[in-house]
A and B are shown apart, each in its own frame.
Chain A
Amino acid sequence: MIPEVSIQSLALSRGGRQLFSRLILKLSPGEAVALTGRNGAGKTSLLRAIAGLIAPDEGVIAFGGVEPAEAREAMHLLGHLDGLKSSRTARDELSFWTGFAGGAADAPEAAAARLDLLPLLDLEVRRLSAGQRRRLALARLLAAPRPLWLLDEPLSPLDAEWRGRFGEIMGEHLSTGGMILAAVHDPLPLAARTVEVGR
């Protein structure tokens, strides 16, 4: 469990170009923050820095006293690169990622039911549409509960109905003390603080 995420005067650069500096952000349990900003402003890089994949130029990313290595086990990262192997079935992939993230054995089934994926579980991932594939990636978040969700454009391939239903799922996550940090271009389907990245 991580009590909070606190980012102090963070500066990030990619390929020798500084994306932003002096970024300040605080996220407490039950809170959702929508990261906005133009293309290339550094929203994805910020999420990857929080996940420990990129080292910041300066500044601190703290998790309320929890060591970063330990904090990583308490976060889910969801991006357009979803780590799903197209040659394997949806069921295999969902149960692998659930098991690897430390979820219960019966959790994949329940999460798939929640996202209406049960009839699709025996299909290879390559047969799924972009929206179905995104739902499969989202099912992973439900199957292995972790408090911090780092979402990169989570809504883009989803249709209007699923955007709404995903809003409900995010709301439930917040009501159980979860935290959501989402890079978005469209507004999130729930009340969220907005932080603009870059400029």
Chain B
Amino acid sequence: MSRISTLLARETALAWGKGGGPMVAVGFYAGVATLLPLAVGSEPERLAAIAPGAAWVALALAALLSLDRLFERDYEDGSLDLLTLSPVPLEIICAVKCLAQWLATGLPLALAAPVAAIALGASPQLSGLVIACALLGGLAFSFMGGIGAALSLGARRGGLLTAVIVLPLFVPPVIFGGGALASLDSGLPWKAGFALLGAYTAAAVALGPLAMAAACRNALS
């Protein structure tokens, strides 16, 4: 247990120090929230309609950008070799790395999401669900994304390959979470979409590490 917490502390510190943390999350949202009105037009009704969805685009982008270094650096500098020489199963190590990634990037982004959504004109009563969806969705992005990152280990231009593998896996949480937000906004029942998002996240957390560990073993051998 102490090994796992040691690993979590180190991975979080690494992810936090390199492109994670609250300031980066806020800056990232500021960028996305500025870019959107410029791209789609600044009519308040239109912006208010897409505001909750902007959180998803930002989350998915941020997850993709940070996936590149999830396993690649450890693979290149030999850490992955050494991590396997421990009683901690590789599956747990992969899960800890994804969790650390989420703590350093997904969590701050999720907490900043409602601010960006309100700035774009979303109704403040959506805030709670925006945070909850972004928390769950970000966790699913980290674990599903980890599969893509592990599969593209050792490939040249691995970043682009990761995106091609991972983006289809990002579709279900966006549909479920986006659907829940749209339903709440228009006064319809939203719990089904949210429950499906939770189920997808649970499946990603449970099954993702198995696939990641298999892909890492393959890359190391």
Contacts and interface: CB of A to CB of B under 8 A. Distances in A.
Interface in A35-91: 48, 51-55, 72-73, 75-77, 79-85, 87-88
B3 A99 contact: yes
A97 interface: yes
Contacts of B74: 83
Interface residues of B, number: 25
Interface stretch (B6-14, B52-60, B103-111, B142-150): B6-14
Contact of B6 (A72, A88, A99): A99
A73 B85 contact: yes
B186 interface: no
Nearest to A86: B77
Contact of A76 (B2, B84, B85, B221): B85
B221 A82 contact: no
Interface in B77-91: 77-79, 81-88
Q: What secondary structure prevails in chain B residues at the interface with A?
A: helix
A101 interface: yes
Contact of B82 (A80, A87, A97, A102): A97
Given A55-B221, A99-B6, A100-B3, A72 B81 contact: no
Nearest to A101: B86
A83 to B, nearest CB: 4
B105 to A, nearest CB: 17
A83 B81 contact: yes
A102 B78 contact: no
Given A73-B86, A101-B86, A87 B81 contact: no
B87 A99 contact: no
Given A72-B84, A87-B18, A101-B86, A81 B78 contact: yes
Nearest to B217: A53
Please indicate which of the listed interface residues B10, B85, B220 has the most CB atoms of chain A within 10 Å of its own CB: B85
Interface string A104-136: 000000000000000000000000000000000
B6 A52 contact: no
B41 interface: no
Given A87-B18, A99-B2, A99-B6, A81 B87 contact: no
Contacts of A75: 85
Interface string B35-74: 0000000000000000000000000000000000000011
A51 B81 contact: yes
A102 B221 CA distance: 25
A73 B2 CA distance: 15
B17 interface: yes
19 contacts: A51-B84, A52-B85, A53-B81, A53-B84, A55-B221, A77-B82, A77-B85, A81-B76, A81-B78, A83-B74, A85-B77, A87-B17, A87-B18, A88-B14, A96-B10, A97-B82, A99-B6, A101-B86, A102-B87
